[in-house]
Structure 1
């Protein structure tokens, strides 16, 4: 059965095309900086929003029209795998990501859930072999089930902690089975509602223990994906421990885990933390911890995680400048953790939405390359910090000055003359590259 019969394969046709099912900006075979765009961008499709999201919202019932539902949950799960790999092939996307609960029904027990996962991952493995697709990352959903109401690794229940550990063990086993390149931890319930009943130190200690167990298990089974933490400040918890990139890196350094983990950063999560996406990427890069990204955007007029497909070229261009400065994302990638809008309910919208996101990132990537080649940002920063190339500045950078010697210099010299940053001009010039 064909789930997307309206198109054979999406191809690049250029910005003048009138074909809805064609790339306007993304040419996977175009060579830039010595590699194809497909190699640079490493696009990935998220199983959850693509295959299981139903279009419901807090004020309305499901609306998405989907043709993969079967007579029982396992038949639906198998149909979804077939539809998903058809989508990957038609978009020519090499990578994918999933949570455990996305691909298989939970059943009536943990043992039944694991058996369902075994059956479905056998099918996924067959599809991967047939298509050449790769698992960018997988993860365990430890936030949806009622047992995780008080967290998973941060739970107040030792029994729940054990079940969470079992899910992660199974997730890492699946990662090895499918050749997973990365493995993600997202602490959706690892936080608190009120400190009145919360021992924050105790909970964070337990989270660190949990992560160390995961690192040890990877060693035990001789499987070494890049381990990633994904920050988010709130929602569903009021305050989540991995608030943003800086908070997460502080946690990793405190517990001597920075050598074992990097960050998977999401644009909409940056918004909720009160940051820009490029800020979060820059923070991670400063720690040499930028591992992978979840591509989406938030609704600026809304206060929650809307997970829209990214179409804002300005924002994505600034994000891609950070990726370029990072030397790329490999072994991570650009995963479309995005869902179609409620009014985009047709099957074909799954193709059209990903085309829009891929075109946006392609255009932004080319913008970022041009900015880098022209030295736009490099020149700005060189001029801004030019005083540190003077005799005084060089001594400061070489740690040859102390408070006393700097005080002596300041008392003997006139008030410094500052140069305007011309911010409005700079932003106007930036628009020339978009």
Structure 2
């Protein structure tokens, strides 16, 4: 045991009447919602990078956090793991997620990186056996090191492509060894800054080939988890090839991978793309590529990816409504890809940020379940499109322009617009919150 979280109790459900900061008011892991425990609906995970690797900097200022594990040594990496697993147990989350660079010291070369990762994976394995914690997903950090400044899969230098492919293999091996349920690819710098030095067609082909190799390796190893892509627009590169769910789906179709790869959708990235979180979730469901979510929020005034902990229950209710409409998570879950504000220095801040996020998710889930169980929203949606379920409506989808023209003339069709009743439905949603 370390003393980093000394004096902080394990967080338990105490209900709305509790006046303790260190308690859940909405998240009761064993409460049954729509036939299964809340913990199985939400499948919470903590993100290793923001919680334990991020130093508290921003574009205008450097490190504000002073953590005892910030030395780039194996001893520090193991101390970081000790503290991380203590936090996971305090919160009672079943899962965690990591990039390779979050958990291992940076080596002098690829071989040392691999040895360091393998050593810390063995250390994780012991801790997972002792605690029952599980790995939701692993991934490779192919964006922070300066070698990736022009991308990884899309890099103009084939040596960087090769280094990236080899790194992905080691991270997939680590994920498989730890029983991870998914493997995520986030192309943090898979994009470009200017077309003046970019061969876009070549770069798309490189990205497609890398993804094909990942899928091939999944099948070669017998990995049963899902391969996930995390869409993100802009930041850090000006034009990202994985801009949003629609863009990713087009990419997958182009390379014949739409049945092999799903998406890990982040709330903050949806906002940066000019969408809502629920839009991206609904589209992924309709396209059959919904996988998992990164839960956070952005500051709507800042206009960049602030990765704050979620606290907007109405937004989360609409998001979890779409998750439930998709049938809920299978291998996916709710990962807190969120970080403290750089002024939140204390260990208690890290715990309480997750407590608040977990409670807000639970409140959103319960509202979403109530909406879906009640059925009024779905009934209104069905009624709006009822005409398409008639014989006449169905025939339009198999007809042609000339026949439809003759039908309109013969029947004297002259439709009047009908209200979408948006405000009524918004009022209805508010009743569940």
Normalising by structure 1, report the TM-score: 0.97
Q: 1:404 aligns with which of 402, 407, 422?
A: 402
> What is the deviation of 1:176?
1.6
The answer to whether the 8 A contact 1:69-1:79 is kept is no
More divergent stretch after superposition (164-173 vs 407-416)? 407-416
Asked whether the equivalents of residues 68 and 76 of structure 2 are also in contact (C-alpha less than 8 Å), the reply is no
The CA deviation at 1:409 is 2.2
Q: Give the Cα–Cα distance (whole angstroms) in 2 for the partners of residues 315 and 183 of structure 1.
A: 27
Structure-1 residue corresponding to 2:306: 306
Superposition deviation, residue 414 in structure 1? 4.1
Once the two structures are overlaid, the 10-residue window that deviates more, 414-423 or 88-97, is 414-423
1:420: Cα distance to partner? 1.4
What does residue 52 of structure 2 align with?
Answer: 51
Per the alignment, residue 88 of structure 1 pairs with: 88
Give the number of equivalent residue pairs: 431
TM-score (norm 2): 0.97
User: Is the 1:272–1:304 Cα contact (8 Å) retained in structure 2?
Assistant: yes
Q: Distance in 2 between matches of 1:154 and 1:376?
A: 47
CA distance in structure 2 between the partners assigned to 1:224 and 1:432 by the alignment? 41
Q: Give the deviation of 1:405 after TM superposition.
A: 1.9
1:140 paired residue number: 140
Q: Report what 2:385 is aligned to.
A: 385
Residues 390 and 139 of structure 1: CA distance in aligned 2, closer, same or farther (over 3 Å): same
Which whole-Å CA distance do the structure 2 matches of 1:2 and 1:327 have between them?
A: 41
CA distance in 1, matches of 2:422, 2:219: 50
Residue-by-residue CA offset, 1:220-272 (whole Å, 9 max, x unaligned): 33323210001001111100100100000000011001121000000000011
| Structure 1: gaps spanning 5 or more residues | none
| Cα offset, 1:65, TM superposition | 4.3
Q: Which runs of 4+ in 1 moved over 6 A?
A: none
The answer as to 2:160 corresponding to 1:160 is yes
Aligned to 1:213, what secondary structure does the other structure show? helix
Alignment of 1:7-26 (within 5 A): 7-26=8-27
Partner of 1:431 in structure 2?
430
Rounded to whole Å, the distance in 1 between the matches of 2:353 and 2:359 is 10
CA-atom RMSD in angstroms:
1.3
Q: Distance in 2 between matches of 1:414 and 1:261?
A: 44
Separation in 2, partners of 1:172, 1:386: 47
Given that 1:309 and 1:336 are in contact with CA atoms closer than 8 Å, whether structure 2 keeps it comes out as yes
**Most deviating of 156-165 and 49-58:** 49-58
Matches within 5 A, 1:54-203: 54-69=55-70, 73-203=73-203
The DSSP-based 3-state class of the residue aligned with 2:141 is coil
Helix, strand or coil for the counterpart of 1:4? coil
In 2, the alpha carbon distance for the partners of 1:333 and 1:157 equals 36
Quick check: 370-379 or 246-255, which moved more? 370-379
Deviations 1:322-345 (A, max 9, x none): 100111112110000000112222
Query: For the residues of structure 2 that align with 1:394 and 1:118, how far apart are their CA atoms?
Result: 58
- 1:281 is paired with a residue of what secondary structure? helix
